[in-house]
A = this chain, B = another copy of it.
Amino acid sequence: MKSKKAPTLNQRIRSDIESRILSGEWEPGYRIPFEHELMEQYGCSRMTVNKVLTTLAESGMIERRRRAGSFVARQPPHLEHVALEIPDIAVSVIQRGHAYGFQLLEHAHRKARAGQAEELALVGAGKLLAMRCLHLADGKPLALERRLINPEAVPETLEVDFSVQPPGSWLLQNVSWTRGEHRISAVAATAEEAALLQVPAGTACLTIDRQTWRGEQPITWVRQKFLGDAYDLIARFAPGNR
């Protein structure tokens, strides 16, 4: 026996409308009942139906026009914005049923190098923590990571032993951030990278660059190169998200 919580009236109205739209019963452009009609139909106050319709409009599923009514959106929520998952590598490997391994290859606390734009962007003239590490799945190399951390934003980072814990996992669990930017591309592994990843030089790698900030202060920059055939990103989209 499954005993479900009684859904709230709000949820009932919302799912009623959503399923009519998704089933195609109410096609794009269809004028859905006015708020006062829904009030009567569900025997509730206007605030309740208004909240539902406002939420649906924010999610992009309907459009509302004063004096005209509310309509099933002609363009379903933008294709350009889909939810992309970029999980912690360690968690992701374990979830896929492999053993996770990690090697810290380099570790330095030094000034930013003049030629490295990403280093200067992170700390300016100050010092940074620079690391290079290798992620393994079932003992085989999966990804190569170059990681920079701004110790001014995260002083505790100087005390952490990153030979045990990957910096990405530690940061995810311990440091909060407010903004991030990712760039995803495909590149061929250089000879040196290929050697570390134990693949032929030129092998296609999925490359993710990510920088995160807290407010205006940069926290970390990372470039991860994944073996293209061993790792992929998945993005899903369903209405109601945006």
Roughly how many angstroms separate A83 CA and B186 CA in the complex, as a whole number? Answer: 19
Closest B residue, CB atoms, query A236: B181
Min CB distance A166 to B, Å, is 14
Q: Which B residues are in CB contact (< 8 Å) with A229? A: 185, 187
List CB contacts (< 8 Å) of A198-242 with chain B: 202-207, 214-215, 226, 228-229, 231-239, 241-242
Roughly how many angstroms separate A206 CA and B187 CA in the complex, as a whole number? Answer: 8
Closest B residue, CB atoms, query A61: B178
Q: Is the CB of A186 within 8 A of B205?
A: yes
Min CB distance A73 to B, Å, is 8
Roughly how many angstroms separate A150 CA and B174 CA in the complex, as a whole number? Answer: 47
Interface residue stretch chosen among A22-30, A62-70, A113-121, A131-139: A22-30
List CB contacts (< 8 Å) of A79-104 with chain B: 79-88
Roughly how many angstroms separate A84 CA and B47 CA in the complex, as a whole number? Answer: 34
Answer whether A232 and B184 are a contact pair too, CB < 8 Å, given A79-B86, A176-B28, A176-B75: yes
Min CB distance A228 to B, Å, is 3
Answer whether A80 and B74 are a contact pair too, CB < 8 Å, given A178-B238, A207-B186, A241-B242: no
Q: Is the CB of B215 within 8 A of A188?
A: no
Q: Which B residues are in CB contact (< 8 Å) with A238? A: 178-180
List CB contacts (< 8 Å) of A174-198 with chain B: 176-188
Q: Which B residues are in CB contact (< 8 Å) with A181? A: 234-237
Residue A76 lies at the interface, judged by CB distance under 8 Å to chain B? yes
Q: Which B residues are in CB contact (< 8 Å) with A22? A: 178, 215
Roughly how many angstroms separate A182 CA and B81 CA in the complex, as a whole number? Answer: 12
Min CB distance A59 to B, Å, is 11
Mask of A154-189 contacts with B, CB within 8 angstroms, 1/0 = 000000000000000000100011111111111110
With beta carbons under 8 angstroms apart, the residue of B203, B207, B232 that contacts A188 is B203
Name 25 interchain pairs, CB-CB below 8 A, sorted by A: A79-B86, A80-B87, A81-B83, A82-B83, A83-B84, A86-B235, A179-B236, A179-B238, A180-B237, A181-B234, A181-B235, A181-B236, A182-B234, A183-B232, A183-B235, A184-B184, A184-B234, A185-B229, A186-B204, A186-B228, A188-B202, A188-B203, A202-B202, A202-B204, A203-B204
Q: Which 4 A-B pairs have the closest CB atoms?
A: A186-B228, A204-B204, A185-B232, A186-B186
